[in-house]
A and B are shown apart, each in its own frame.
Chain A
Amino acid sequence: MTALKKSFHIKSRDFIRAGEASIQIQALLKTLNFDPKMIRRVSICGYEGEMNVVMHGGDGTLRFEINTNQLIIEITDDGPGIVDIAKAMQAGFSTASDEHRNMGFGAGMGLPNMKKNSDDITVESEKGQGTLVRMVFFLSKGGDAV
């Protein structure tokens, strides 16, 4: 199977379009006949990641790849970075503003939800250096539909 790759720009503070990339990925996986549970996990991870960039990051990019063994979502941004990654991974920890909470986000469940729904997650960040979140979803032998 040839790797399928897509890339989406995420604009800082664009709350109107936030989530569009994940909805497109969701639609693509449906057309490829992926298992609905896998589609849901991937979509949730992408969406939480997009919202994190829109709320906290600068501009960013969501890269999506499917190859024979795995599906990968990698989200990078040039925002302020995460000071304490271990703390940020804890359910309920949040640095969100009242503005974010008024829109239904900022409950401190973004990264925990991403960890819960992916098979492997890597978070790399330093204060002032932006953030990279890489999530991997293992596919069954033979590739696509899981």
Chain B
Amino acid sequence: MKLSEIVKTLDAKVLNDGNHLDKEITTCGASDLMSDILAGLSEGCILLTGLTTIQVIRTAMVAGVGAVVFVRGKTPPQEVIDLATEQELPLISSSYSMFVSCGRLHACNLTGLDGRR
């Protein structure tokens, strides 16, 4: 599904410039452990996390993550948003919990990083 549809599904707001919302996403990883994201097949996935540190962005860049969703309405500091924007990494914030966000995306046929649902 397109990133723009994910934004709608999660009643989310886009935190940076709103470019790249046509990006196609098929897999989803949800974790606050960055090494788990680095260990998985996270290329092009959407990453759901409750962490808002700059290392989330670096992890996403290194792993080739397609976009990051901050759950529970979290918003990262401006320097984190700026780094993501510079790297053309879309950032989204949803007021839903991790559990509900995952459920809504699962219902839209997104798979886990290993391709299973």
Which A residues lie at the B interface, using CB under 8 A?
A: 15-16, 18-20, 22-23, 26, 36, 40, 43-44, 47-48, 51, 103-105, 107-110, 112-113, 116
| A40-B43, A109-B39, A113-B39 known; A103+B63 contact, CB < 8 A | no
Number of A-B contacts (CB under 8 A): 67
Going nearest first, the 9 A-B pairs with the smallest beta carbon separation are: A109-B35, A19-B58, A104-B34, A107-B33, A43-B62, A47-B62, A107-B35, A104-B51, A44-B38
Residue B53 lies at the interface, judged by CB distance under 8 Å to chain A:
yes
A-B contact pairs, 19 of them (CB 8 A): A22-B62, A23-B58, A36-B43, A36-B64, A44-B38, A44-B63, A47-B59, A47-B62, A48-B38, A103-B51, A104-B34, A104-B51, A104-B56, A105-B33, A107-B35, A109-B35, A109-B36, A113-B35, A116-B39
Q: A19 CA to B56 CA in the complex, in Å?
A: 11
Which B residues lie at the A interface, using CB under 8 A?
A: 32-36, 38-39, 43, 49, 51, 53-56, 58-59, 61-64
**B-chain residues with CB within 8 Å of residue A40 when the two chains form the complex:** 43, 62-64
- Assess whether B61 is in contact with A23, with CB atoms less than 8 Å apart: yes
- Assess whether A47 is in contact with B53, with CB atoms less than 8 Å apart: no
Q: Which of A26, A103, A108 contacts B55 (CB 8 A)?
A: A103
**A-chain residues with CB within 8 Å of residue B33 when the two chains form the complex:** 104-105, 107, 109
Is chain B's interface secondary structure helix, strand, loop, or mixed overall?
Answer: helix
- Assess whether A48 is in contact with B43, with CB atoms less than 8 Å apart: no
Residue in chain B with minimal CB distance to A42: B62
- Assess whether B35 is in contact with A19, with CB atoms less than 8 Å apart: no
Q: A16 CA to B61 CA in the complex, in Å?
A: 15
**B-chain residues with CB within 8 Å of residue A26 when the two chains form the complex:** 61-62
- Assess whether B59 is in contact with A104, with CB atoms less than 8 Å apart: yes
- Assess whether B62 is in contact with A19, with CB atoms less than 8 Å apart: yes
Q: A43 CA to B35 CA in the complex, in Å?
A: 13
**B-chain residues with CB within 8 Å of residue A36 when the two chains form the complex:** 43, 64
- Assess whether A105 is in contact with B61, with CB atoms less than 8 Å apart: no
**A-chain residues with CB within 8 Å of residue B59 when the two chains form the complex:** 19, 47, 104
Residue in chain B with minimal CB distance to A101: B33
Residue in chain A with minimal CB distance to B34: A104
**B-chain residues with CB within 8 Å of residue A113 when the two chains form the complex:** 35, 38-39
The smallest C-beta distance from B65 to any residue of chain A, in angstroms, reads: 11
The smallest C-beta distance from A59 to any residue of chain B, in angstroms, reads: 19
